[in-house]
């Protein structure tokens, strides 16, 4: 007769598993134990919390669609102007009243809306969505990601053709990235999303000793605008595709930074990086690209910097040995849908920097890791 260790363990799904699962894992997977633990005073609280956590994961897509509908129909903006009843909001948004009631109650359950005396208004959480630059645009464009993830099994098997890759064509160096309309679409979204990234990066990294900052892959220059406004002594260079030059020129002109910023059009895939800067920034760039592209870019940055020059990496990162929600359960999937790049841990980015020759690699404490984490390193310290 075979022992269980030889035969393997039969999981609740009916599939036979390797016998490596620990005794506690097998116990918790037992329906008999679950039933007992749910009624035992010392364990029922834990059972309830774990059950609620699993349910929240299951319901997450529904929650995101409630948020998406509130943003897409501008209901949050409407409630910012004035409170409204179910009937009023249903009429204004051409939604059947019974369905609008479900949507509004869902928004209330998620802490976005509040109901007082029959009229809905915004909570602080709901209002914050209106105040975060680019957040509504990011929420609106997520219908592409949701569509790409519709068949999750096929997605993870690599059997789908995600549309998200076509939304960000520059990551492939595609010709579409040179199309002005396409470039304007993704550049606007990238610029809006970089406002918070710039704020957190400026809090984490000191620029007072930097004389000339070159931002590579910076789109229309949202990051440089923020840094330039905060540090009036800086000379700056923007290096990105030619298609973003008109938007960058307009941005720097409006911010009265034109005399301090040089716009150098080019592709870091094909062209050498300009020299002259003593710091190079790569803001939300590495996670868009494969390791080979990143390695080549970091080597190019090393070559373009003088001795003692610094590089700055700022982007959301994986948790590494301790996976975390933003990096490993969101950005990792987003970059997978893009078809290139990946969410890397600080340790992985450190290794890439060191391979390129950089020293004194420092990971700075992140205020909001779901926004960004900053890493700096030095050439020939």
In the three-class reduction of DSSP (H, G, I as helix; E, B as strand; rest coil), residue 75 is classed as helix
pLDDT of residue 70: 97
CA 18, distance to chain mean position in Å, is: 36
153 with 252, same domain? yes
Q: Say if 158 falls within a structural domain.
A: yes
| Cβ–Cβ < 8 Å for 155, 147 | no
Q: Are strands 358-363 and 373-379 parallel, antiparallel or unpaired?
A: antiparallel
Mean pLDDT, contiguous 10-residue spans, the chain (381 residues): 41 54 78 80 83 89 96 96 96 97 98 97 95 85 91 94 77 51 62 84 95 94 95 96 89 95 94 96 94 96 97 96 94 90 96 97 93 96 66
- Whole-model pTM: value is 0.82
Beta bridge partners of 375: 313, 363
Interatomic CA distance for residues 323 and 344, integer angstroms: 11
Q: Of 100, 131, 162, which closes a domain? A: 131
263: CB partners within 8 A, 6+ apart = 221, 237, 238, 245, 248, 249, 252
**Is the same domain home to 49 and 190?**
no
Q: Is residue 125 part of a domain?
A: yes
What confidence score (pLDDT) does residue 166 get?
Answer: 78
- Count of domains forming the chain: 2
Using alpha carbons, list the distances in angstroms from residue 225 to 131, 154, 170, 219, 234.
Answer: 19, 41, 22, 11, 11
**What is the predicted pLDDT for the residue at 1?**
36
Whether 49 maps to a domain, the answer reads yes
358 φ/ψ angles, rounded to the nearest 5 degrees: -75, 150
Of 97, 131, 165, the residue at which a domain comes to its end is: 131
d(CA 292, CA 213): 25
pLDDT given for residue 251 in this prediction? 94
Q: Which domain holds residue 68?
A: 44-131
Strands 358-363 and 310-315, by their bridges, are unpaired
Q: Are residues 54 and 186 in the same domain?
A: no
Same domain for 184 and 106, yes or no, is no
Q: Which of 80, 106, 131 marks a domain boundary?
A: 131
Helices (H) and strands (E) counted in the chain, each on its own, are: 18, 11
- Residue 75 maps to a domain: yes
H-type alpha helices, the chain = 4-7, 23-28, 31-39, 44-72, 75-81, 86-92, 97-109, 124-131, 135-148, 152-157, 164-167, 180-204, 222-230, 245-254, 291-304, 325-326, 332-338, 346-355
User: Are residues 216 and 337 both part of a single domain?
Assistant: yes
Angle in degrees, CA 365, 370, 376, rounded to 5: 40
Residue 66: burial class (beta carbons within 10 Å; 0-12, 13-18, 19+):
buried
> CATH number, domain at 218?
3.40.50.150
Residue 184 CA to chain centroid, in angstroms? Answer: 20
Residue 24 belongs to some domain of the structure: no
Whether residues 188 and 304 share a domain: the answer is yes
**109 shares its domain with 255:** no
- Both 119 and 184 in a single domain? no
In a domain, 10, yes or no: no
For residue 94, give the CATH number of its domain.
1.10.10.10
Q: Do 251 and 335 sit in the same domain of this protein?
A: yes
**Model pLDDT, residue 138:** 86
- Residues 186 and 327 placed together within one structural domain of the fold: yes
Q: Which residues contact residue 174 at a Cβ distance below 8 angstroms, ignoring those fewer than 6 apart?
A: none
6 in a domain, yes or no? Answer: no
DSSP at 369: T
Calculate the CA 255 to chain-centre distance: 27
Domain for residue 276, yes or no?
yes
Same domain, 365 and 276: yes
Say if residue 186 is in the same domain as residue 263.
yes
């Amino acid at each position: 007769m075979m022992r269980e260790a030889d035969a393997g363990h039969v999981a609740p799904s009916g599939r036979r598993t390797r016998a490596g699962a620990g005794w506690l894992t097998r116990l918790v997977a037992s329906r008999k134990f679950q039933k007992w633990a749910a009624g035992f005073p010392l364990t029922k609280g834990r059972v309830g919390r774990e059950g609620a956590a699993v349910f929240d994961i299951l319901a997450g897509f529904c929650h995101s669609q409630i948020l998406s509908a509130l943003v897409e129909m501008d209901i949050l903006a409407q409630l910012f102007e004035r409170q409204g009843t179910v009937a009023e909001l249903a009429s204004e948004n051409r939604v059947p009243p019974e369905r609008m009631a479900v949507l509004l109650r869902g928004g209330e359950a998620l802490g976005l809306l509040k109901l007082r005396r029959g009229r809905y208004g915004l909570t602080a959480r709901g209002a914050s969505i209106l105040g975060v630059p680019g957040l509504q645009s990011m929420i609106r464009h997520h219908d592409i990601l949701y569509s790409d993830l519709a068949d999750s099994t096929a997605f993870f098997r690599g059997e789908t053709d995600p549309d998200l890759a076509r939304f960000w064509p520059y990551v492939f160096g595609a010709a579409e990235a040179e199309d002005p309309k396409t470039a304007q679409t993704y550049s606007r979204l990238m610029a809006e999303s970089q406002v918070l990234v710039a704020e957190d990066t400026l809090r984490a990294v000191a620029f007072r000793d930097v004389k000339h900052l070159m931002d590579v892959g910076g789109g229309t220059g949202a990051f440089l605008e923020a840094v330039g406004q905060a540090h009036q002594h800086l000379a700056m260079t923007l290096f990105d595709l030619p298609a973003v030059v008109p938007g960058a020129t307009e941005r720097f002109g409006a911010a009265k930074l034109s005399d301090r910023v040089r716009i150098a059009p080019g592709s870091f895939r094909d062209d050498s990086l300009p020299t002259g800067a003593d710091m190079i920034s790569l803001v939300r760039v590495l996670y868009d690209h494969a390791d080979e592209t990143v390695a080549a870019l970091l080597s190019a940055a090393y070559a373009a910097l003088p001795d003692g020059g610094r590089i700055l990496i700022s982007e959301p990162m994986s948790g590494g040995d301790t996976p975390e929600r933003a990096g490993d359960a969101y950005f990792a999937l987003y970059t997978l849908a893009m078809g290139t790049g990946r969410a890397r841990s600080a340790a992985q980015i450190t290794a890439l920097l060191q391979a390129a020759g950089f020293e004194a690699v420092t990971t700075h404490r992140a205020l909001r890791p779901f926004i960004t984490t900053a890493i700096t390193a030095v050439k020939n310290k």
